[in-house]
Amino acid sequence: MSHSLSPVELIRRKRDGEILSDDTIQGFIQAYTAGEVPDYQMSAFLMAVFLKGMTVEETRALTLAMLHSGAVIDFSDIPGFKVDKHSTGGVGDKTSLVLAPVVAAAGVAVPMISGRGLGHTGGTLDKLESIPGFRTDLTLDDFRRLVSTIGVGLIGQTPEIAPADKKLYALRDVTGTVESLPLITASIMSKKLAEGIDALVLDVKCGNGAFMKTFPNAQALADSLKATGEAMGKRVTALITDMNQPLGWAVGNALEVIEAQQVIRGELLTGRFAELSIDLSAHMILLGGVTDTLEAAREKVLETIRSGAALEKWKEIIAAQGGDPACAENDAKLPTATKEAVVVAASDGFVTHIETEAVGMAGVVLGAGRLTLDSVIDPSVGFKIEVELGAEVKKGDALVRIAFNRDQTLPEVKARLERAFTIGLEKPGE
């Protein structure tokens, strides 16, 4: 190892709450990535960080070390600010599908490296791959070419990007050290900054369907991500958004593409999903320097949608990545489930609670998500959510329409959804 501390001494110091130098952290991560530090010592270090925390400076050093464990893309030859968005994940969160074409159509370069869904949260790659022919498994050279030619590229994480994070992520999962702010921050930011971006909009989800269930926890994560990004010289905006109910009407891959396309085509500009998509796009455009105010950026978003520029950019993205651009205007060309079932309200009243994570897990059982990285997804299945929190319903009214193919999954899916929606006599908040 290139630094002067032995792994044992470094672990002891962090265990005792000492602050580690940049060089010490850098050398330790380098040695681990190279296989010179065994998993059991890294596990001890992760637990020490979990228990004792890290300063902003230590978190920045850890992020830098993980970032430079692999390739860092250089887009400096492309004029203007390169801007991306990161969401901490939730149910029905398909905002990336809107942001990419809208923001690129407004003149901001959008390099976007996304993930797959795991557990109750959906993944952008799975949604994109429900478009026939659409490829996300592109090389970094392909990615560079896309961003330089059409202003946007949507790919999955390649082996060259932050290999230290891949090793650490798997280890955190099995050592009870996932919920550590410095470790979460370094994981997210090392991958995002490897994209070669200048600015980042963070969408930190909060609520029963989010990783961060409470507002103080979501705020702490947002602050940590923002402080680390800014310490590394990036422009960062952090929003905390609600995940106490699914985002929009669609849950499931092809269905979520349809809802995103309704916004891109200008058919759906109201409601929680459309409004958040417009808001996030505006923040990206503002960070990208196209406008001087958020209000002007919001107008720019609406202009790109209403003029058809966003739709044209979406078709260009689909075609450039091997998909059928006709899908952008004809939703029927996307995978469609063969059967529909309905979950109805058992009584009159108001929707007082939606257990969002349970809705996401019902989608996994249905085949719309994955429990393991090897699970096979059915892109056509999912849910059409008919009610929002606070909605008044009558007995027998539809709460959720289930688009499905396999009869054997239906009873469990329906049971999970019935438990996820609570109908009460009083409207929430009154």
Q: What is the 3-state secondary structure (H, E, C) of the chain?
A: CCCCCCHHHHHHHHHCCCCCCHHHHHHHHHHHHCCCCCHHHHHHHHHHHHHHCCCHHHHHHHHHHHHCCCCCCCCCCCCCCEEEEEECCCCCCCHHHHHHHHHHHCCCEEEEEECCCECCECCHHHHHCCCCCCCCCCCHHHHHHHHHHHCEEEEECCCCCCHHHHHHHHHHHHHCCCCCHHHHHHHHHHHHHCCCCCEEEEEEEECCCCCECCHHHHHHHHHHHHHHHHHCCCEEEEEEEECCCCCCCEECHHHHHHHHHHHHCCCCCCCHHHHHHHHHHHHHHHHCCCCCCHHHHHHHHHHHHHCCHHHHHHHHHHHHCCCCHHHHCCHHHCCCCCEEEEEECCCCEEEEEECHHHHHHHHHHHCCCCCCCCCCCCCCCEEEECCCCCCEECCCCEEEEEEECCHHHHHHHHHHHHHHEEEECCCCCC
Domain identity same for 88 and 234: yes
Domain identity same for 282 and 358: no
Domain finish residue from 303, 328, 353: 328
Domain identity same for 134 and 282: yes
CA distances (Å), origin 44, targets 48, 248, 428: 6, 42, 45
Q: Bridge partners of 341?
A: 402
Residues assigned a catalytic role: 86, 165, 172, 187, 191
What's residue 430's pLDDT? 65
Domain identity same for 297 and 352: no
Domain identity same for 233 and 266: yes
Domain containing residue 24: CATH number:
1.20.970.10
Residue 64, in any domain of the structure: no
Domain containing residue 251: CATH number:
3.40.1030.10
Contact between residue 117 and residue 370 where contact means Cβ atoms under 8 Å apart: yes
- pLDDT averaged per 10 residues in sequence order, the chain, 430 residues: 78 97 96 96 98 96 97 94 94 97 98 82 90 96 96 93 92 90 95 95 96 95 96 96 97 98 98 98 98 98 98 98 98 98 98 97 92 84 98 98 96 98 89
Domain containing residue 394: CATH number:
3.90.1170.30
Residues 6+ apart with CB under 8 A from 226: 202, 236, 237, 238
**Domain containing 48: what range?**
7-53
Smallest CA-to-CA distance from 235 within 284, 299, 292, 184 is with: 284
Residue 35, in any domain of the structure: yes
**Residue 353: φ, ψ to 5°:** -160, 140
Q: Please state, in angstroms and rounded to a whole number, the distance separating the CA atoms of residues 54 and 42.
A: 16
Domain identity same for 123 and 17: no
Q: What is the value of pTM for the model shown?
A: 0.94
Residue 70, in any domain of the structure: no
Residue 58, in any domain of the structure: no
Number of structural domains in the chain: 3
Domain identity same for 184 and 146: yes
Domain identity same for 258 and 114: yes
Domain identity same for 87 and 222: yes
**Token duo for residue 167:** 């090793």
